[in-house]
A and B are shown apart, each in its own frame.
Chain A
Amino acid sequence: DAGVTQSPTHLIKTRGQQVTLRCSPKSGHDTVSWYQQALGQGPQFIFQYYEEEERQRGNFPDRFSGHQFPNYSSELNVNALLLGDSALYLCASSWRTENLEQYFGPGTRLTVT
Protein backbone atom coordinates (compact mmCIF):
# COMPACT_ATOMS: atom_id res chain seq x y z
CA ASP A 1 0.00 0.00 0.00
CA ALA A 2 1.81 3.12 -1.23
CA GLY A 3 1.94 6.06 1.10
CA VAL A 4 1.96 9.70 0.11
CA THR A 5 4.63 10.49 -2.46
CA GLN A 6 6.02 13.87 -3.46
CA SER A 7 8.31 15.05 -6.23
CA PRO A 8 10.85 16.38 -6.56
CA THR A 9 12.75 15.85 -3.30
CA HIS A 10 14.81 19.00 -3.63
CA LEU A 11 14.57 22.01 -5.87
CA ILE A 12 16.62 25.16 -6.32
CA LYS A 13 15.06 28.14 -8.06
CA THR A 14 15.90 31.79 -8.62
CA ARG A 15 13.82 34.72 -7.42
CA GLY A 16 11.02 35.53 -9.83
CA GLN A 17 10.80 32.04 -11.27
CA GLN A 18 7.84 29.71 -11.04
CA VAL A 19 7.77 26.23 -9.53
CA THR A 20 5.44 23.23 -9.58
CA LEU A 21 5.45 20.57 -6.88
CA ARG A 22 3.60 17.28 -7.18
CA CYS A 23 1.87 14.96 -4.76
CA SER A 24 0.19 11.57 -4.99
CA PRO A 25 -2.08 10.71 -2.06
CA LYS A 26 -2.15 7.51 -0.09
CA SER A 27 -4.20 4.78 -1.71
CA GLY A 28 -7.88 5.22 -0.85
CA HIS A 29 -7.55 8.90 0.00
CA ASP A 30 -9.27 11.60 -2.01
CA THR A 31 -8.36 14.82 -0.19
CA VAL A 32 -5.01 16.56 -0.45
CA SER A 33 -3.73 19.39 1.73
CA TRP A 34 -0.54 21.39 1.28
CA TYR A 35 1.58 22.87 4.06
CA GLN A 36 4.64 25.12 4.12
CA GLN A 37 7.22 24.58 6.83
CA ALA A 38 9.92 27.19 7.31
CA LEU A 39 13.10 26.13 9.09
CA GLY A 40 12.54 25.73 12.81
CA GLN A 41 8.79 26.34 12.55
CA GLY A 42 5.68 24.23 12.47
CA PRO A 43 3.88 23.59 9.18
CA GLN A 44 1.43 26.23 7.99
CA PHE A 45 -1.70 25.30 6.05
CA ILE A 46 -1.73 26.57 2.46
CA PHE A 47 -4.89 25.00 0.99
CA GLN A 48 -6.91 21.82 0.61
CA TYR A 49 -8.33 20.12 -2.45
CA TYR A 50 -11.28 17.77 -2.61
CA GLU A 51 -13.25 16.73 -5.69
CA GLU A 52 -10.87 18.79 -7.81
CA GLU A 53 -11.81 22.02 -6.06
CA GLU A 54 -10.02 24.20 -3.54
CA ARG A 55 -12.10 23.79 -0.37
CA GLN A 56 -10.14 25.75 2.19
CA ARG A 57 -7.30 28.21 2.03
CA GLY A 58 -4.84 29.50 4.58
CA ASN A 59 -3.29 32.94 4.73
CA PHE A 60 -1.19 32.69 1.58
CA PRO A 61 -1.11 35.09 -1.40
CA ASP A 62 -2.55 34.30 -4.79
CA ARG A 63 0.96 33.47 -6.01
CA PHE A 64 0.24 30.09 -4.45
CA SER A 65 -2.20 28.06 -6.51
CA GLY A 66 -3.03 24.44 -6.91
CA HIS A 67 -4.83 21.80 -8.81
CA GLN A 68 -6.25 18.36 -8.18
CA PHE A 69 -6.59 15.79 -10.92
CA PRO A 70 -9.29 13.11 -11.36
CA ASN A 71 -6.91 10.49 -9.91
CA TYR A 72 -6.72 12.65 -6.72
CA SER A 73 -3.09 13.65 -7.25
CA SER A 74 -2.31 17.30 -6.80
CA GLU A 75 0.06 20.07 -7.81
CA LEU A 76 1.17 23.15 -5.95
CA ASN A 77 2.29 26.08 -8.09
CA VAL A 78 4.14 29.11 -6.80
CA ASN A 79 4.69 32.09 -9.09
CA ALA A 80 7.12 34.99 -8.79
CA LEU A 81 9.23 33.21 -6.19
CA LEU A 82 10.58 35.19 -3.26
CA LEU A 83 13.50 34.33 -0.99
CA GLY A 84 10.96 33.85 1.79
CA ASP A 85 9.33 31.01 -0.13
CA SER A 86 12.31 28.81 0.73
CA ALA A 87 10.86 26.05 2.88
CA LEU A 88 9.87 22.41 3.11
CA TYR A 89 6.56 21.88 1.30
CA LEU A 90 4.52 19.05 2.69
CA CYS A 91 1.59 17.30 1.13
CA ALA A 92 -0.90 15.42 3.27
CA SER A 93 -3.76 13.20 2.26
CA SER A 94 -6.90 12.11 4.05
CA TRP A 95 -10.27 10.55 3.33
CA ARG A 96 -12.97 13.01 2.36
CA THR A 97 -12.90 16.13 4.45
CA GLU A 98 -13.48 14.28 7.67
CA ASN A 99 -11.64 15.56 10.69
CA LEU A 100 -9.29 12.62 10.87
CA GLU A 101 -5.56 12.15 10.90
CA GLN A 102 -3.66 13.19 7.81
CA TYR A 103 -0.87 11.20 6.21
CA PHE A 104 2.14 13.24 5.18
CA GLY A 105 4.60 12.77 2.37
CA PRO A 106 8.35 13.26 2.81
CA GLY A 107 8.18 16.82 1.49
CA THR A 108 9.90 18.87 -1.18
CA ARG A 109 12.73 21.13 -0.03
CA LEU A 110 12.57 24.35 -2.06
CA THR A 111 15.48 26.77 -1.99
CA VAL A 112 15.07 30.17 -3.64
CA THR A 113 18.30 32.04 -4.37
Chain B
Amino acid sequence: SQQGEEDPQALSIQEGENATMNCSYKTSINNLQWYRQNSGRGLVHLILIRSNEREKHSGRLRVTLDTSKKSSSLLITASRAADTASYFCATVPGGYNKLIFGAGTRLAVHP
Protein backbone atom coordinates (compact mmCIF):
# COMPACT_ATOMS: atom_id res chain seq x y z
CA SER B 1 0.00 0.00 0.00
CA GLN B 2 1.13 3.55 -0.61
CA GLN B 3 1.22 5.99 2.24
CA GLY B 4 1.61 9.25 0.39
CA GLU B 5 -1.01 10.82 -1.76
CA GLU B 6 -0.11 13.58 -4.18
CA ASP B 7 -2.46 16.28 -5.28
CA PRO B 8 -3.21 17.10 -8.02
CA GLN B 9 -2.81 13.92 -10.05
CA ALA B 10 -2.01 16.00 -13.12
CA LEU B 11 -1.01 19.62 -13.64
CA SER B 12 -0.64 21.54 -16.90
CA ILE B 13 0.97 24.98 -16.94
CA GLN B 14 2.82 27.40 -19.22
CA GLU B 15 6.55 28.03 -19.11
CA GLY B 16 7.44 30.67 -16.56
CA GLU B 17 4.54 29.85 -14.25
CA ASN B 18 4.96 28.29 -10.83
CA ALA B 19 3.90 24.71 -10.13
CA THR B 20 2.74 23.54 -6.72
CA MET B 21 2.27 19.91 -5.79
CA ASN B 22 0.99 18.63 -2.47
CA CYS B 23 1.57 15.41 -0.61
CA SER B 24 -0.23 13.94 2.38
CA TYR B 25 0.83 10.96 4.44
CA LYS B 26 -0.53 8.88 7.29
CA THR B 27 2.10 7.84 9.82
CA SER B 28 5.04 9.45 11.60
CA ILE B 29 8.14 9.95 9.50
CA ASN B 30 11.87 10.38 9.80
CA ASN B 31 12.05 12.47 6.66
CA LEU B 32 10.19 13.15 3.43
CA GLN B 33 11.78 13.20 -0.01
CA TRP B 34 10.72 14.38 -3.45
CA TYR B 35 11.74 12.59 -6.63
CA ARG B 36 11.30 13.29 -10.34
CA GLN B 37 10.77 10.66 -13.02
CA ASN B 38 10.97 11.31 -16.74
CA SER B 39 8.97 9.05 -19.07
CA GLY B 40 9.00 5.89 -16.95
CA ARG B 41 12.76 5.94 -16.39
CA GLY B 42 14.71 5.96 -13.14
CA LEU B 43 13.87 8.37 -10.37
CA VAL B 44 16.02 11.38 -9.61
CA HIS B 45 16.27 12.65 -6.05
CA LEU B 46 15.31 16.32 -5.74
CA ILE B 47 15.25 17.25 -2.10
CA LEU B 48 15.04 15.75 1.39
CA ILE B 49 13.39 17.47 4.35
CA ARG B 50 13.73 16.07 7.84
CA SER B 51 10.84 15.84 10.27
CA ASN B 52 12.25 18.68 12.40
CA GLU B 53 12.52 21.04 9.42
CA ARG B 54 9.69 23.21 8.11
CA GLU B 55 11.05 24.57 4.86
CA LYS B 56 13.92 23.85 2.50
CA HIS B 57 15.15 25.39 -0.74
CA SER B 58 17.20 24.04 -3.60
CA GLY B 59 17.57 26.21 -6.68
CA ARG B 60 14.06 26.74 -8.09
CA LEU B 61 12.58 24.20 -5.66
CA ARG B 62 10.94 25.02 -2.36
CA VAL B 63 9.62 22.30 -0.08
CA THR B 64 7.55 22.74 3.05
CA LEU B 65 6.65 20.18 5.66
CA ASP B 66 3.85 20.36 8.22
CA THR B 67 4.10 17.33 10.49
CA SER B 68 1.00 18.34 12.46
CA LYS B 69 -1.05 18.09 9.26
CA LYS B 70 1.06 15.28 7.83
CA SER B 71 1.51 17.15 4.61
CA SER B 72 4.21 18.57 2.37
CA SER B 73 4.29 20.78 -0.70
CA LEU B 74 6.75 21.14 -3.56
CA LEU B 75 6.93 24.47 -5.39
CA ILE B 76 8.79 24.77 -8.67
CA THR B 77 9.25 28.41 -9.60
CA ALA B 78 9.64 29.78 -13.13
CA SER B 79 8.94 26.39 -14.67
CA ARG B 80 10.58 25.25 -17.91
CA ALA B 81 9.53 22.71 -20.52
CA ALA B 82 12.33 20.48 -19.21
CA ASP B 83 10.48 20.25 -15.87
CA THR B 84 7.84 18.11 -17.58
CA ALA B 85 7.89 14.85 -15.61
CA SER B 86 6.15 12.91 -12.86
CA TYR B 87 6.89 14.05 -9.33
CA PHE B 88 6.66 11.73 -6.35
CA CYS B 89 6.81 12.33 -2.66
CA ALA B 90 8.27 9.52 -0.59
CA THR B 91 8.14 9.17 3.15
CA VAL B 92 10.68 7.40 5.30
CA PRO B 93 8.92 5.92 8.34
CA GLY B 94 10.62 6.30 11.66
CA GLY B 95 13.07 3.45 12.30
CA TYR B 96 13.11 2.24 8.72
CA ASN B 97 15.16 3.08 5.66
CA LYS B 98 12.62 2.38 2.97
CA LEU B 99 10.77 4.80 0.77
CA ILE B 100 6.99 4.76 0.65
CA PHE B 101 5.80 6.53 -2.48
CA GLY B 102 2.56 8.13 -3.47
CA ALA B 103 1.02 7.79 -6.91
CA GLY B 104 2.68 10.98 -8.15
CA THR B 105 1.75 14.20 -9.90
CA ARG B 106 2.20 14.37 -13.68
CA LEU B 107 3.41 17.85 -14.56
CA ALA B 108 3.28 19.14 -18.14
CA VAL B 109 4.97 22.49 -18.86
CA HIS B 110 4.07 23.94 -22.25
CA PRO B 111 6.43 26.27 -24.15
In the assembled complex, the Cα of A72 lies from the Cα of B23 at a distance in Å of 33
CB < 8 Å: which of B31, B44, B104 contacts A42?
A: B104
Question: Which of A11-19, A75-83, A102-110 touches B?
Answer: A102-110
- Is A113 on the interface with B (CB-CB < 8 A)? no
B30 touches A106 (CB 8 A): no
B48 touches A106 (CB 8 A): no
B45 touches A58 (CB 8 A): no
B45 touches A101 (CB 8 A): yes
The smallest beta-carbon distance between A37 and chain B, in angstroms, is 8
> What chain B residues lie within 8 Å of A35 (beta carbons)?
99, 101
CB < 8 Å: which of B30, B33, B103 contacts A41?
A: B103
- Is A21 on the interface with B (CB-CB < 8 A)? no
In the assembled complex, the Cα of A56 lies from the Cα of B92 at a distance in Å of 13
> What chain A residues lie within 8 Å of B104 (beta carbons)?
41-42
> What chain A residues lie within 8 Å of B96 (beta carbons)?
56, 99
Nearest CB to that of B1 among chain A residues?
A59
> What chain A residues lie within 8 Å of B40 (beta carbons)?
39, 88, 107, 109
Q: Mark A4-25, 1 if CB is under 8 A from B, else 0.
A: 1000000000000000000000
- Is B42 on the interface with A (CB-CB < 8 A)? yes
B48 touches A101 (CB 8 A): yes
The smallest beta-carbon distance between B105 and chain A, in angstroms, is 10
> What chain B residues lie within 8 Å of A88 (beta carbons)?
40
Q: A42-B2, A104-B42, A107-B42 are in contact. List 8 more A-B contacts (CB 8 A).
A: A35-B101, A43-B88, A43-B101, A44-B2, A90-B43, A99-B92, A102-B45, A104-B45
Interface residues of A (CB under 8 A from B): 4, 31, 33, 35, 39-45, 48, 56, 58-59, 88, 90, 92, 94, 97-107, 109
